[in-house]
Amino acid sequence: MCRIGSIKSKVPIQPSMALHLMLPQQEGHDNSGFAMVMQDLYGIFSNYKDKPLLSLACTQRGAQLVEEYMDAHNFVQLAEWIPVPDKKPGLDIQAMPYYIFRNYDYPEGAEKMTKEQKENLLLDTRLALRKLLEKDGEGFVYSFWPDVLTLKEIGDPRDIATYFHLWDDNGCLVAKSIVAQCRQNTNYDIVRYAAHPFFLQGYTLCANGENTFYTKNKEFQKSLHRGYIGFESDSQCFLNTLHYVHHELKWPLIYYKHVITPLPFEEIAERPDKEVLTAIRQSLANLEINGPNTIIGVLPDQRMITCCDSKKLRPVVVGRTEDMVAISSEVCGINEIMPDRDQTKDIYPNEREIVVIDNDLEVQRWKQ
């Protein structure tokens, strides 16, 4: 069983409000996992929204390696939050010794950098730290970006929430946008990096489904950008393509759908933009996906998106109240988080559109 979902609100919300959307109803298993990316942070991170936040899980030696690297590269630590876990007996969680969420100031001279240079610096730093910790299995680096916190763990999602006090209204973890997923009952062991969602340079994405073009996608993507690494899950292909189309090629967001689920050639021939769409099909054919997928993501400007393809058997649904919009791969997720909403206003996106939620909670439907 796998549910994915996200919440976007006008006011800061507690993670406990969001986690009900994702948590499964049956008992956990050793091959279960949980992950979430929180963006537009408040609470203890309110004063550092413009400073990059490092999210990692590591050993004591791993923490030392990170400190040594950051000092050597002139990153100045500004603030740190290390959660104090609930270690009561019987919790199903493959816990790491340390979980560190640490704000840094940019190195001296960064004020002269362009926005793109800063983005590249943060990406290269995260990749270097990942390589450093992976060498001897000392830890996992999930994100290094302003106003973004990433948590991933293996075990029963309910127990993970207990371990990190995510049920508590303690004011520590507060955000306007939360994307999360729980995975259960898989037939293989989940590694921490494979837990959804994934994050890259301001883009967050998780997918529920199966991409049968996974090998074709990843082999092509490896040639496109140094940040497209790992491939612990086929869902990373969706994130990398979103990043490539929107961030690298700087195309309008609507073209993302035309790349991952292109229209048939006979339909393209009837459109006024047929030359552009034909060129996309011919040049980026290896980025097409295939399988029953729901996609939920967040862009660097904090807009939230969702789309699906024609094979999706459990349709993605968008629900809303006055001050919150939630997206779930199953309607039961929306029912958990918004039991009193007006269900007649629910949106079930079809396979030929992208739903976009802006920062004022306006819901837009873009036809492919």
Tell me: the pLDDT tens digits for 285-339?
Answer: 999 999 888 999 999 999 999 999 888 777 899 999 989 999 998 888 889 889 9
pLDDT score of 221 more than 60: yes
Q: How many structural domains compose the chain?
A: 1
CA angle, 196 then 197 then 203, to 5°: 155
CATH number of the domain that residue 261 is part of: 3.60.20.10
Alpha carbons 52 and 57: distance in angstroms, whole number: 17
Task: Render 18-54 in DSSP notation, one character per residue.
Answer: HHHHH--SS---TT-EEEEEEEEE-GGGGGGTTSEEE
Token pair for 130? 């990942």
Q: Write the pLDDT tens digit of every residue in 103-161.
A: 999 999 998 999 999 999 999 999 999 999 998 899 999 999 999 999 998 888 888 88
Q: Write the pLDDT tens digit of every residue in 237-269.
A: 999 999 999 999 999 999 999 999 999 999 999
Token pair for 127? 């990749």
Kind plus residue range of the DSSP H or E element containing 236: helix 236-243
Prediction pTM value: 0.91
Closest CA to 166 of 20, 8, 16, 4: 16
Domain extent at residue 64: 3-367
